[in-house]
C-alpha cells in the first residue's frame, strides 16, 4: 500500500514539477524516487498485510511483481529523458502518465477486491491509450491509439460484465470471500460465466490469440518507447494479474478451463511465431514475439499452485530481455522514419556493444542458455509436463524452433550486412539501460535459484 | 425486506442487461462512425451498471451501487481520452470513419 | 587442480583473449588452450582415482540442479580430445589473417569451454546448457568468418542453427520429463529411474533426434556439408573434430543408459540408419567436386559407423566407437587442415582446379597421404583400432551389418584415393605451390604422430576408457 | 638377445625406410640405394640365421613384443612367430628382395625420386615381414594392408601419369574388397574362438566342436581376402594393370612376394581349411579356372610385362589349385620356384625394357639375343623353368601340382594341363618375339641397344641359377626336404607320400610333352613362320576378345563402377538437394502460414472486434454448451 501511495505521490510531483519549472529535474527525481520506492517495496517482502478492508493486500506475490514493475519503469523513465527531449511541453505529462501507469500496475497485482482490480486495469489501460496516441501529429500513432482504445474499452466492457456476474453470484467483491464461496458447491452458473468473461478480458490484455489482433498494429504505430512499455511492463502486468485472478478467484479450475487455456496457449504461440516470421518492421516483429511469449506464459496457468515462482522468473526474464532489446531498437531507430530490419544492417560494426546486447536479448527470448529465457522456458516446460500437458510442451518446442527464424533474421542483419546509411549517434543512456537490463537477465541465468525460490 | 425483485425476478434483469449488452456489442461491430461506436460501448457499460444495481438490490448490499460510481467515472475518463484521440484523427485525416484506419496491418 | 580449473581456464582464456586485442589474441588463445591441455595431461597422468575429481555443488534449488561434473576415463578422454585439438586448431590458423581476431579466438576458446563442459557435465540441466552454449560460437564463427557468398552462407548457418537447436529442444523436453520423474537432473538419479517402455521409447527418440542431428545420422545430415563448406576451416575443424563427438558421447553417456530398453528394441532401426549413413556418405563423397564437401561426406560416413558402434550396446561397439571418435577427430582435423593449406596457396576448393601438387611439395604430399591413409583406417593408425573394433562389434550383432558397414573400407579407399590422386598427383601444376611452412608442418606432424602412436599402441587410451564403458554397460543392462 | 635379433630382422627395413624418407635425398642416389639394399640384406642374413636354427631344432621362435588390441572376448599381443613357414617366406622375401634392391640401384638410377623408390621398397619389405612373422591373424592383416599400401605407392610411383595412378588406385581398391572379406573372416573366427593367435586357433579349431557352417563362412571370407591379394578370379584384374609400376616392383611385389600372401595365409590357416571341404573345392575350382583364363589371355598379349603378369596370375591359379586340394606343401613349393623364375623373368624383361628405353611392346623388339646375351640366357633358363621342362625347378613343382590334381579330380587336371601348355606357348612366344629374328624398333632405339650393367645382370644370374636348381628342395623321390621341413605345420593326413609308380611317370611324361607341344607351336608360328602380332586396330574376331582380356574390366566398369558413380550423381544432384529442400520446405511452410496470417491481419478494427466476439463465443460454447 505504501508503494501505491508513494507512486501516486511521485506522479503528482511530476505534474507539479512542470508548474514550478523543474522540468530538468523530473527524470532524475522520478528515477531516484522510484529507486526509493523500490526499497520500500522490497522491505515489505515477507511482511504480508491487508489495507482498507482488504481493498489492497500486500503479499510476497504482489511485492515481487511490484518490484519488477518498478524496475522496468525505472528503465523506461531513464530512457524517456532522451526520447522526449524534442517535446519539452508535454514532458512532464508523459513521465507522470507512466508513473500513474505503474500505480495501476501495482494495484493490479495487489488487489484484494475486484473494484481495486478494475480500477487498476483501467488506470493502466487509459494511460496506455494516451501514450499510444501520444504522437499527435502522426497518423500511425493516432490509429494505434484509436485501435487500442476501441478494442480495449470493448474488452473492458466484458471484464466489467464478468465482475458483475461474479458479484451477482456471490454477493461479494472481496476476492477472499469469493474464493471461499467458490470452494463450495451450489453457485449459479453465471458465476462461471463471470469468471470466463473476466478471463477473456484479461486474455485480450495479454494479447492471446484470437484476441491478439490489436497488439501488432498498436505496437507498430505507437512511439517506440511506448511500444517498449507495452511489450514489457503492460504485458507482464497483465499476465501477473491474470495469474493472480485465476488463483484467487477459483483455485479448483475445472478441467474444461484448462483445456481452453491449453488450446489458446498453443494457438497463441503458433500465431505469434508464424506471423512474426514475415515481418519487416522490428516493432511489429517484437509484437508478435510478445504474443508468442504470452502463449508460453499462459502455460503457467496449468499448474496454479506451484507456478508463481516460474511465472515471476519468466516474466522477469522476458521483460529484461525486452527492455534491453527495445533500448537498442529505440536507440537505433530514433532518427529514422522506419523501424525495419534493414535499419539494423551493420550494427555489429558501427556499434558492437548495442549489437551484442540485442543479440543476447534475442537469444534470451529464443530460449538459449545461459540467458534467463532458457531457464524460464525450461522450468515452464517442466511444470507443464508435471501438469500432464505434454502436447502443450511439444507445441512450445516447435514454436521455439520457429522463433529462431525471426530472431536470427535480426541478428544476421546486424552482423552480416554493411550499414546502408551513415551512422547516427547513439545516446549513452540507451546503452546503459540496455547493458544493465541484459546484465540482469544474464545474472538471472547464471543463478536462477534466487528468483525461482522467491515465491515458494 | 420487501423489494421489487420479489415480483420480477433477478433473471429478467440479467436477460435485460444481456440484451442491452449485446445491442452495444452489435453497435460496436456494425457501425463505422467512431462517435456511434463510442456510444455503443457506453451502452455496454451501462447495461452492466444496470445489472450491478439490480444485483445490489438482490443481495441487499450497497457495494454494488458504489461500484457503479467507479465504473461511471472510469467510463467517463475513457470516453474523454477516446474523444481526444478522435479529435487528433479528425485533424489529421478529416474523417471519423474507423474503416479508414487501415494503415497498420500485416 | 581439478576439472573446474580446466573449465575456468578455458573460459577465462576466452575473456582474456577478448581483452588482449586483435594483435595478441591468437597467441593468448594458444597459450590458454595449451595450458588446458597441460592440465588435462596432468590430471590424466597423476590422478589415480578419477572419481575423486567429481564435482558437485548445489546450483538451482527449483528445479533442483547441481553444478555437477563427472570425471571418468570416458569424459577425460573426450576432454583430452578437446584440449588436444584446440591448441592445434588455433595454431593452424596462425597464417590466416582474421579481422577482429580477438572476437574470433575468444569464440574458439569459448566453444572449447562449452564442449569440455558438455563432456564433463553430470547434471542434465548443466549438460544441456553446455550443449547449447557450444552452438552459439560456432554459429558466429561460421557466419562472420566463413566463405562464399553471404546469402548462401546465411542460409546454411541459419539452417544449421535451427536444425540443431530444434533437435536439442526435444531433448530438453525429455529432460523435463525425466526431472518430473526423478526429481533431479543428476546422472546418477536418472540412471536409477525405472521407466515404462512407452516412456523409454519417446525419451529415446527425443534424445535420438537431438543426437542424430548433431552427429549427424542420415537423413538428418543435410546441414552438414553446407556448413562444413561455408565455415572457415577453423570452424569446420571444431565442428567435425570435436563438436559432432558431443553427439556420440552423449549417446553413450545419456541416451543409452537412460533408455536402455528402448535402445534394445529399436536397435535395428537406429543401427540401420547409422549404417545406411556409412554407405550413403561414401557414395555421395565419390563424386564431390568441392574438397571440403567431400571431406564432409567422408565424415558423415565415418560417424555413421561410430554411431552404429554405439548403438550395438556391446562393449566392443562402445569401446571401438570411443577409439574411432578420437581417431576421427584427429584425422578429420588434419584433412581439413590440408584442404586449408591448399586453399591458402591456390584459393580454391574445387578439386578440378588442383592436381600436380606433389612435385612441388613432397613433404606436404607425404603428410597428406598419411592422413588419407589414416582416414581409410589403414592398420597401424589409430583409426584402424577403432574401425576394427566397431566392425567386430557389428559382426557380433549380425554379420551382415559388418559386411555392409565394412564397405566403408572399400568405398572410403575409393573416394579418398581418388581425391588424393586428383588433388595431388598428375602433371606438375602450372601454379606455384609454396612449400609448407614450419607451423603447418608442426600441426600436421603432431596430428599424425598421435594417430600412429596410438595406432600401434592403443592400450593407454583403451585402459583409460574401458572402465567407464564397463560402467555404462552395467547401467544399460540393469533390469 | 634372440628378441633383439628378431626386432632387428623386422625393423631393419623400416629403419631403412625412415632414413631414406628423411635423409635419402641429401644422401644421394647411390647412398640411398646402398642403404636400402643393406637394410634388406641384413634382414636376409638374420633370416638365414634363424632358418638354420629352426631347421635344426624344429622349434619355432615366439616373441611377444607388447599388448596390442583388446576387445570384449580376447586380447591380442603384438607378437612374432618364427616357425618353418614364416622363415621359408622370410628367406625368399628378403633374399629376392635384396637382389631386387641391388638391381634397382642401377635400374632406377635415372629417376629423380630414387630415394623414395627405395624407401617404399624398404617399407614394403618391412610390411611383408610383418605379414609373415606375426603371431596372429590381425598382425598378418596389418602386413596385408601394409603391402597393399606399398603396392599402391609403387604402382603409382610415376605419379605424373594419371593412368598409372588409376592403376595404383585400382589395385588398392580391389585389394580392399578382398580385405573386407578377410576382416569378416577374422571377426567370425574371433567371436567363435575368442582368439586370433595361430597356436590357440589351431588348438581350438582342431578340437573339433566348432560349428562347421560358421567355419565354412569364415573360411570362405578369408579366401575372398586371398583372391584379392593373390589376384584370383574375380579380383585378378588389378595385377596386369599394376605393371604400370617400375619393373623391379613388378618383380618383387607382383610376382615373387606380395601376391603369394594369399597362399601364405591359407597355408598358415590350413587347419581351418582342412575342416571346410566345401571351401577347399571352391578354392581348387577358382584356382584352376584362373589358371586357364589368365593363360589364355596371356597367349595374345603384346606388352612384355603384361604377358608376364598374366602368367603370374595363371601360376598363382595353379598354386590355389594345389591349396584347394589340400596339398599345401606342394603349393609352397611352387611359390618358391615361381618366385625364382618369375623374378628372373621380370628382371630380365626389365633389362630389356631398360635397353629399349621403356619400350614394352614386343612387336617393336626382336633380335636382342646377340646384343644382350646374359639377359637372354638367364631369361631362357627361367622360361624353361616356367614351361615345366626338366630339370628346371618349375618342372618339379608344377608336376607335383598336376599330379595332385590328377589324383583328386581329372577335369581339374585337364584344365591345369591346358594352362601349362598355354604357358609354354606364350612364354616361348615372348622369347622368340623378343630375342630372335631382326630388330623391329626404331633406328634410334637400335642405336642405344646395349647389355645391361653388372648390377642388373648379377641378380639375373643368381635368380637363373636358383631357377635351375630350386627344384632340389623337393624332388619327387622319397620324402623330400621341403616336406619334412614343413611337416610340423600340417595335420597327419598330408604326410602320405607319392609313390612313384607308372601313373606318375606317365603323368610326368604327359606334362613334359605338353610343355614341348607348347614350345613347338610357338616355334612353328613365331620363329619358323616369322609371324609378328598384328597392330591393335587389326585384331578382330575372338582374338580381339581375348586380346582385350574378355572385356572383364569393361564389364566391371559397366556393372559396378558406373552404377555406383551414377548412384553417387543421383544422390548428390537429386537426393541431397531434395532432402535439403525438405528441411527448407518446413521453413517455407512456416513462412507461408505466416503470410496467410498476415493477410487476415488486415488492419480493420471491425474484423478485430469480430474475431474477439467469435473467440468469445467459441469459448463460451465450448465451456457451457458443448459439454452439457
Highest mean pLDDT among B67-81, D56-70, D114-128: B67-81
**Chain C contact set for A346 (CB, 8 A):** none
pLDDT tens, position by position, D425-465: 888 888 888 888 777 777 777 777 787 788 888 888 888 88
Q: What pLDDT digit, counting tens, does each position of A201-222 carry?
A: 999 999 998 899 999 999 999 9
CB contact under 8 A, C133 and A369: yes
Closest partner residue to D145 (CB to CB) among C379, C417, C459 is C379
**Nearest Cβ partner of C406 from D67, D149, D184?**
D184
Residue A185 has a pLDDT of 75
pLDDT of residue A67: 94
Q: Which three cell numbers stand for residue D316?
A: 598363382
Same domain for D559 and D529?
Answer: no
> Would residue D480 count as lying in a domain?
yes
What residue spans define the domains of chain B?
A: 5-96
The residue of D64, D131, D177, D180 whose CB has the most chain C CBs within 10 angstroms, and thus the best one to mutate to test that interface, is D180
Is D382 found in the same domain as D329? yes
C-alpha D507/C-alpha A51 separation (Å) is 124
CA D603 to chain CA mean position, Å? 80
Four-point Cα dihedral A13, A17, A22, A23, nearest 10 = 100
Torsion region of D70: left, alpha or beta (phi above 0 gives left; psi -120 to 50 gives alpha): beta
With residue D262 as reference, give the H or E element that holds it: helix D261-268
Q: Which residues pair with A57 in a beta bridge?
A: A50
| pTM of the predicted model as reported, rounded to 2 decimal places | 0.89
d(CA A101, CA A108): 11
pLDDT of residue C57: 87
Task: Find the closest chain C residue to D181 by CA distance.
Answer: C403
Residue C1: per-residue pLDDT: 66
Mean pLDDT, residues D47-62 taken together: 85
Overall average pLDDT of the A214-233 stretch: 93
Closest residue in A to D607 (Cα) is A213
The domain boundary residue, chosen from D475, D501, D534: D534
Out of D534, D569, D604, pick the residue that ends a domain. D534
**Which chain A positions have a beta carbon within 8 Å of B21's beta carbon?**
157, 161
| Domain extent for D443 | 276-534
Q: Do A168 and B10 make contact, defined as CB atoms within 8 angstroms?
A: yes
**Across the interface, which of A367, A393, A452 has its CB nearest the CB of C61?**
A452
**Looking at the structure, do residues D363 and D399 belong to the same domain, yes or no?**
yes
The residues near A290 (Cβ < 8 Å, ≥ 6 apart) are A207, A215, A219, A231, A235, A272, A322
Measuring CA to CA, how many Å separate C206 from each of A367, C167, C249, C263?
18, 8, 16, 12
According to the model, what pLDDT value does residue C422 have?
87
Contact D322, D423 (CB under 8 A): no
DSSP string, A344-408: GTTHHHH-HHHHHHHHHHHHHHHT-TTSHHHHHHHHHHHHHHHHT-HHHHHHHHHHHHHHHHHHH
**What is the chain D residue with the closest CA to B98?**
D605
What is residue D289's three-state secondary structure? helix
Q: To which residue does cell 638367364 refer?
A: D378
pLDDT average, residue stretch D161-176: 87
Same domain, yes or no, for D322 and D449? yes
Task: Identify whether residues D468 and D605 lie together within a single domain.
Answer: no
Which sequence spans correspond to the domains of chain A? 1-252, 254-456
Q: Is residue D221 part of a domain?
A: no
Return d(Cα D228, Cα D151) in angstroms, integer: 13
Would you write out chain C's pLDDT as a tens digit for each of its 479 residues?
678 888 999 999 999 999 988 888 888 999 999 999 999 999 888 888 888 888 888 888 777 888 999 888 899 999 999 999 999 999 888 888 888 888 899 999 999 999 999 999 999 989 999 998 898 899 889 888 888 778 888 888 888 888 888 888 889 989 988 888 888 889 888 888 888 889 899 899 999 999 999 988 888 888 888 888 888 989 999 999 999 899 999 999 999 999 999 999 999 999 999 999 999 999 988 888 888 889 999 999 999 999 999 999 999 899 999 999 999 999 999 999 999 888 888 888 888 888 888 888 888 888 999 999 999 888 888 998 899 899 999 988 888 998 998 888 889 888 998 898 888 888 887 788 888 888 889 989 999 999 999 988 888 888 889 889 999 999 888 86
* Tens digit of each residue's pLDDT (9 = 90 or more) over D256-277: 888 888 899 998 888 888 888 8
Ranking A164-168, C206-210, D562-566 by mean pLDDT, the lowest is D562-566
- Residues D505, D563: one domain? no
**Which residues of chain D have a Cβ shorter than 8 Å from any chain B Cβ?**
598, 601-606, 609-610, 613
Query: Which residues from D are below 8 Å from A158, CB to CB?
Result: 616
Among candidates D240, D258, D248, D222, which has minimal Cα distance to D170?
Answer: D240
**Contact status, residue A160 vs residue A118, Cβ threshold 8 Å:** yes
CB contacts of A408 in chain C (<8 Å) are 158, 161-162
Pair D620, D512 in one domain:
no
Distance CA A194, CA D293 (A): 97
Quick one: which of D415, D193, D145, D181 has its CA closest to D285? D415
- Which residue, among A75, A192, A184, A94, has the nearest Cα to A135 in the 3D structure? A94
**D542 inside domain:** no
D499 has pLDDT over 70: no
Number of domains in chain D: 2
- Using CB atoms, pick whichever of D152, D176, D580 lies closest to residue C409: D176
Grid cell of C408 as nine digits: 566403408
Q: Distance between the two ends of chain C, CA-based, in angstroms? A: 38
- Same structural domain, D305 and D382: yes
C-alpha cell at B86: 478522435
- What does residue D548 show for φ and ψ, rounded to 5 degrees? -90, 25
In a domain, D101, yes or no: no
Percent of chain D with pLDDT over 70: 98
CB contact under 8 A, A158 and D598: no
CA angle (D207 as vertex; D206, D210 as ends), nearest 5: 90
Chains B and C touch (3+ CB pairs under 8 A): no
- B5-96: what CATH class? mainly alpha
Contact A43, A70 (CB under 8 A): no
Quote the minimal CA–CA distance from A98 to chain C in Å: 34
Amino acid at each position: 500500500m505504501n508503494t501505491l501511495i508513494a507512486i501516486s505521490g511521485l506522479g503528482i510531483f511530476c505534474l507539479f514539477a512542470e508548474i514550478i519549472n523543474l522540468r530538468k529535474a523530473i527524470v532524475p527525481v522520478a528515477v531516484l524516487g522510484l529507486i526509493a520506492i523500490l526499497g520500500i517495496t522490497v522491505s515489505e517482502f515477507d511482511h504480508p498485510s491487508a489495507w482498507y478492508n482488504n481493498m489492497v493486500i500486500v503479499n510476497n506475490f504482489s511485492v515481487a511483481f511490484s518490484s519488477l514493475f518498478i524496475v522496468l519503469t525505472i528503465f523506461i523513465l531513464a530512457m524517456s529523458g532522451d526520447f522526449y527531449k524534442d517535446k519539452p511541453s508535454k514532458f512532464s505529462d508523459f513521465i507522470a502518465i507512466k508513473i500513474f501507469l505503474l500505480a495501476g500496475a501495482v494495484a493490479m497485482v495487489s488487489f484484494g477486491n475486484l473494484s481495486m482490480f478494475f480500477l487498476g486495469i483501467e488506470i493502466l489501460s487509459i494511460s496506455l491509450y494516451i501514450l499510444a496516441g501520444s504522437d499527435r501529429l502522426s497518423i500511425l500513432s493516432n490509429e494505434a491509439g484509436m485501435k487500442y482504445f476501441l478494442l480495449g474499452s470493448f474488452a473492458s466492457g466484458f471484464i466489467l460484465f464478468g465482475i458483475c456476474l461474479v458479484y451477482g453470484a456471490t454477493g461479494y467483491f472481496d476476492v477472499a470471500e469469493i474464493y471461499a464461496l467458490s470452494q463450495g458447491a451450489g453457485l449459479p452458473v453465471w458465476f462461471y460465466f463471470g469468471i470466463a468473461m473476466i478471463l477473456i478480458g484479461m486474455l485480450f490484455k495479454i494479447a492471446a490469440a484470437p484476441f491478439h489482433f490489436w497488439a501488432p498494429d498498436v505496437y507498430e504505430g505507437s512511439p517506440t518507447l511506448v511500444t517498449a512499455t507495452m511489450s514489457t511492463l503492460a504485458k507482464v502486468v497483465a499476465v501477473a494479474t491474470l495469474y493472480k485472478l485465476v488463483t484467487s478467484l477459483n483455485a479448483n479450475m475445472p478441467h474444461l478451463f484448462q483445456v481452453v487455456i491449453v488450446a489458446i496457449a498453443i494457438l497463441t504461440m503458433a500465431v505469434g511465431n508464424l506471423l512474426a516470421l514475415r515481418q519487416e518492421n522490428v516493432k511489429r516483429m517484437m509484437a508478435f514475439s510478445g504474443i508468442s511469449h504470452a502463449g508460453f506464459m499462459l502455460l503457467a496457468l496449468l499448474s496454479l499452485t506451484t507456478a508463481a515462482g516460474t511465472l515471476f522468473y519468466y516474466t522477469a526474464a522476458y521483460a529484461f530481455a525486452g527492455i534491453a532489446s527495445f533500448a537498442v531498437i529505440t536507440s537505433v531507430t530514433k532518427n529514422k522514419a522506419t523501424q525495419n530490419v534493414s535499419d539494423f544492417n551493420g550494427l555489429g560494426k558501427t556499434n558492437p556493444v548495442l549489437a551484442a546486447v540485442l543479440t543476447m536479448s534475442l537469444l534470451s527470448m529464443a530460449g538459449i542458455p545461459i540467458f534467463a529465457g532458457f531457464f524460464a522456458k525450461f522450468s515452464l516446460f517442466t511444470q507443464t509436463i508435471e501438469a500432464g500437458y505434454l502436447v502443450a510442451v511439444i507445441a512450445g518446442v516447435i514454436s521455439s524452433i520457429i522463433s529462431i527464424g525471426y530472431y536470427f533474421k535480426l541478428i544476421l542483419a546486424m552482423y552480416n550486412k554493411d550499414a546502408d546509411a551513415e551512422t547516427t549517434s547513439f545516446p549513452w543512456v540507451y546503452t546503459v539501460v540496455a547493458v544493465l537490463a541484459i546484465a540482469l537477465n544474464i545474472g538471472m541465468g547464471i543463478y536462477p535459484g534466487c528468483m525461482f525460490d522467491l515465491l515458494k | 425486506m420487501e423489494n421489487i425483485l420479489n415480483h420480477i425476478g433477478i433473471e429478467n434483469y440479467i436477460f435485460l442487461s444481456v440484451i442491452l449488452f449485446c445491442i452495444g456489442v452489435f453497435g460496436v461491430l456494425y457501425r463505422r462512425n467512431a462517435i456511434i461506436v463510442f456510444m455503443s460501448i457506453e451502452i455496454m457499460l451501462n447495461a452492466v451498471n444496470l445489472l450491478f444495481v439490480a444485483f445490489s438490490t438482490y443481495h441487499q448490499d450497497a457495494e454494488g451501487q458504489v461500484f457503479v460510481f467507479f465504473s461511471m467515472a472510469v467510463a467517463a475518463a475513457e470516453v474523454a481520452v477516446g474523444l481526444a484521440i478522435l479529435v487528433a484523427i479528425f485533424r489529421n485525416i478529416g474523417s471519423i470513419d474507423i474503416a479508414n484506419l487501415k494503415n497498420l496491418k500485416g | 587442480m581439478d576439472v573446474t580449473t580446466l573449465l575456468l581456464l578455458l573460459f577465462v582464456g576466452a575473456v582474456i583473449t577478448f581483452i588482449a586485442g586483435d594483435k595478441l589474441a591468437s597467441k593468448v588463445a594458444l597459450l590458454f588452450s595449451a595450458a588446458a591441455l597441460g592440465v588435462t595431461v596432468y590430471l590424466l597422468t597423476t590422478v589415480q582415482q578419477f572419481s575423486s575429481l567429481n564435482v558437485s555443488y548445489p546450483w538451482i534449488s527449483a528445479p533442483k540442479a547441481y553444478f555437477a561434473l563427472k570425471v571418468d576415463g570416458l569424459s577425460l578422454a573426450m576432454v583430452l580430445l578437446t584440449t588436444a585439438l584446440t591448441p592445434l586448431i588455433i595454431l593452424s590458423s596462425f597464417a590466416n589473417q582474421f579481422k577482429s581476431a580477438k572476437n574470433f579466438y575468444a569464440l574458439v576458446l569459448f566453444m572449447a569451454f562449452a564442449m569440455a563442459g558438455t563432456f564433463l557435465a553430470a547434471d542434465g540441466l548443466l549438460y544441456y546448457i553446455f550443449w547449447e552454449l557450444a552452438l552459439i560460437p560456432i554459429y558466429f564463427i561460421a557466419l562472420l568468418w566463413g566463405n562464399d557468398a553471404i546469402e548462401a552462407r546465411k542460409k546454411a548457418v541459419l539452417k544449421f542453427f535451427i536444425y540443431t537447436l530444434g533437435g536439442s529442444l526435444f531433448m530438453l523436453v525429455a529432460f523435463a520429463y525425466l526431472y518430473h520423474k526423478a526429481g533431479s537432473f543428476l546422472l546418477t538419479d536418472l540412471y536409477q529411474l525405472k521407466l515404462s517402455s512407452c516412456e523409454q521409447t519417446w525419451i529415446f527418440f527425443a534424445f535420438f533426434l537431438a543426437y542424430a542431428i548433431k552427429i549427424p545420422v542420415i537423413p538428418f545430415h543435410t546441414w552438414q556439408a553446407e556448413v562444413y563448406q561455408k565455415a572457415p576451416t577453423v570452424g569446420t575443424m571444431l565442428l567435425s573434430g570435436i563438436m559432432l563427438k558431443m553427439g556420440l558421447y552423449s549417446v553413450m553417456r545419456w541416451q543409452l543408459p537412460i533408455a536402455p530398453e528402448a535402445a534394445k528394441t529399436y536397435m535395428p532401426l537406429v543401427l540401420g540408419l547409422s549404417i545406411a549413413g556409412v554407405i550413403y556418405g561414401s557414395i555421395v563423397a565419390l563424386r564431390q567436386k568441392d574438397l571440403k564437401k567431400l571431406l564432409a561426406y567422408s565424415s558423415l560416413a565415418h560417424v555413421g559407423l561410430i554411431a552404429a558402434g554405439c548403438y550395438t550396446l556391446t562393449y566392443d561397439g562402445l569401446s571401438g566407437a570411443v577409439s574411432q571418435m578420437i581417431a576421427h577427430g584427429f584425422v578429420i582435423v588434419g584433412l581439413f587442415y590440408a584442404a586449408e593449406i591448399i586453399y591458402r596457396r591456390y584459393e580454391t576448393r574445387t578439386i578440378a582446379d588442383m592436381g600436380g601438387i606433389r612435385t612441388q611439395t613432397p613433404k606436404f604430399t607425404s603428410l597428406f597421404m598419411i592422413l588419407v591413409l589414416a582416414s581409410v583406417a589403414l592398420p597401424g593408425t589409430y583409426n584402424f583400432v577403432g574401425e576394427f573394433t566397431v566392425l567386430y562389434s557389428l559382426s557380433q550383432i549380425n554379420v551382415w551389418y559388418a559386411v555392409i558397414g565394412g564397405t566403408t573400407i572399400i568405398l572410403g579407399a575409393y573416394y579418398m584415393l581418388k581425391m588424393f590422386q586428383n588433388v595431388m598427383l598428375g602433371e606438375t601444376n602450372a601454379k606455384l605451390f609454396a612449400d609448407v611452412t614450419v607451423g603447418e608442418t608442426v600441426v600436421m606432424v603432431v596430428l599424425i604422430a598421435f594417430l600412429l602412436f596410438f595406432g600401434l599402441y592403443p592400450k593407454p587410451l583403451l585402459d583409460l576408457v574401458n572402465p567407464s564403458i564397463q560402467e555404462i554397460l552395467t547401467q544399460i543392462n540393469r533390469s | 638377445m634372440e628378441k633383439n635379433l628378431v626386432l632387428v630382422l623386422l625393423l631393419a627395413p623400416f629403419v631403412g625406410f625412415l632414413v631414406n624418407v628423411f635423409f635419402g635425398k641429401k644422401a644421394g642416389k647411390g647412398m640411398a640405394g646402398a642403404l636400402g639394399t643393406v637394410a634388406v640384406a641384413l634382414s636376409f642374413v638374420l633370416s638365414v640365421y634363424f632358418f638354420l636354427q629352426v631347421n635344426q631344432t624344429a622349434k619355432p621362435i615366439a616373441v611377444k613384443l607388447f599388448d596390442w588390441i583388446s576387445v570384449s572376448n580376447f586380447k591380442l599381443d603384438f607378437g612374432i612367430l618364427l616357425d618353418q613357414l614364416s622363415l621359408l617366406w622370410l628367406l625368399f622375401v628378403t633374399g629376392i628382395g635384396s637382389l631386387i634392391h641391388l638391381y634397382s640401384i642401377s635400374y632406377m638410377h635415372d629417376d629423380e625420386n630414387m630415394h623414395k623408390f627405395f624407401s617404399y621398397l624398404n617399407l614394403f619389405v618391412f610390411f611383408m615381414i610383418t605379414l609373415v612373422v606375426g603371431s596372429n591373424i590381425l598382425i598378418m592383416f596389418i602386413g596385408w594392408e601394409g603391402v597393399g599400401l606399398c603396392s599402391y605407392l609403387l604402382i603409382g610411383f610415376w605419379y605424373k601419369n594419371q593412368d598409372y595412378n588409376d592403376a595404383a588406385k585400382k589395385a588398392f581398391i580391389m585389394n580392399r574388397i578382398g580385405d573386407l572379406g578377410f576382416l569378416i573372416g577374422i571377426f567370425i573366427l574371433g567371436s567363435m574362438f575368442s582368439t586370433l593367435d595361430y597356436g590357440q586357433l589351431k588348438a581350438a579349431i582342431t578340437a573339433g566342436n566348432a560349428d562347421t557352417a560358421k567355419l565354412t563362412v569364415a573360411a570362405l571370407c578369408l579366401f575372398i581376402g586371398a583372391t584379392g591379394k593373390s589376384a584370383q578370379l574375380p579380383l585378378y584384374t588389378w595385377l596386369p594393370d599394376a605393371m604400370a609400376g617400375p619393373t623391379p616392383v613388378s618383380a618383387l611385389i607382383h610376382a615373387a612376394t606380395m601376391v603369394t600372401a594369399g597362399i601364405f595365409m591359407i597355408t598358415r590357416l590350413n587347419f581351418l581349411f582342412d575342416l571346410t571341404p566345401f571351401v577347399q573345392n571352391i578354392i581348387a575350382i577358382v584356382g584352376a579356372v584362373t589358371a586357364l583364363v589368365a593363360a589364355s589371355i596371356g597367349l595374345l598379349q603384346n606388352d612384355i610385362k603384361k604377358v608376364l603378369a598374366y602368367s603370374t596370375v595363371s601360376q598363382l591359379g595353379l598354386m590355389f589349385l594345389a591349396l584347394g586340394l589340400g596339398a599345401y606343401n606342394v603349393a609352397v613349393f611352387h611359390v618358391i620356384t615361381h618366385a625364382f623364375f618369375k623374378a628372373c623373368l621380370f628382371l630380365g624383361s626389365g633389362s630389356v625394357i631398360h635397353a629399349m628405353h621403356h619400350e614394352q611392346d614386343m612387336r617393336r623388339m626382336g633380335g636382342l639375343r646377340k646384343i644382350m646375351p646374359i639377359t637372354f640366357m638367364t631369361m631362357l633358363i627361367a622360361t624353361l623353368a616356367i614351361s615345366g621342362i626338366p630339370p628346371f625347378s618349375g618342372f618339379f613343382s608344377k608336376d607335383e601340382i598336376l599330379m595332385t590334381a590328377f589324383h583328386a579330380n581329372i577335369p581339374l587336371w585337364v584344365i591345369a594341363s591346358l594352362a601349362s601348355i598355354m604357358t609354354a606357348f606364350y612364354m616361348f612366344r615372348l622369347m622368340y618375339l623378343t630375342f630372335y629374328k631382326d630388330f623391329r624398333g626404331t633406328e634410334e632405339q637400335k642405336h642405344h641397344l646395349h647389355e645391361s650393367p653388372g648390377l642388373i645382370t648379377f641378380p639375373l644370374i643368381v635368380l637363373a641359377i636358383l631357377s635351375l636348381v630350386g627344384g632340389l628342395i623337393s624332388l619327387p623321390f622319397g620324402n623330400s626336404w621341403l616336406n619334412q621341413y614343413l611337416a610340423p605345420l600340417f595335420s597327419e593326413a598330408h604326410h602320405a607320400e607319392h609313390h612313384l609308380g607308372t601313373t606318375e611317370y606317365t603323368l610326368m611324361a604327359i606334362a613334359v610333352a605338353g610343355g614341348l607341344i607348347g614350345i613347338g607351336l610357338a616355334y612353328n608360328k613365331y620363329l619358323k613362320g616369322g609371324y609378328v602380332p598384328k597392330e591393335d586396330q587389326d585384331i578382330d574376331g575372338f582374338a580381339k576378345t581375348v586380346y582385350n582380356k574378355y572385356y572383364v574390366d569393361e564389364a566391371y566398369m559397366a556393372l559396378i563402377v558406373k552404377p555406383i558413380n551414377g548412384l553417387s550423381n543421383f544422390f548428390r544432384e537429386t537426393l541431397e538437394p531434395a532432402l535439403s529442400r525438405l528441411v527448407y520446405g518446413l521453413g517455407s511452410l512456416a513462412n507461408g502460414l505466416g503470410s496467410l496470417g498476415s493477410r487476415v491481419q488486415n488492419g480493420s478494427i471491425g474484423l478485430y472486434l469480430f474475431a474477439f466476439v467469435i473467440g468469445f463465443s467459441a469459448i463460451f460454447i465450448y465451456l457451457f454448451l458443448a459439454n452439457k
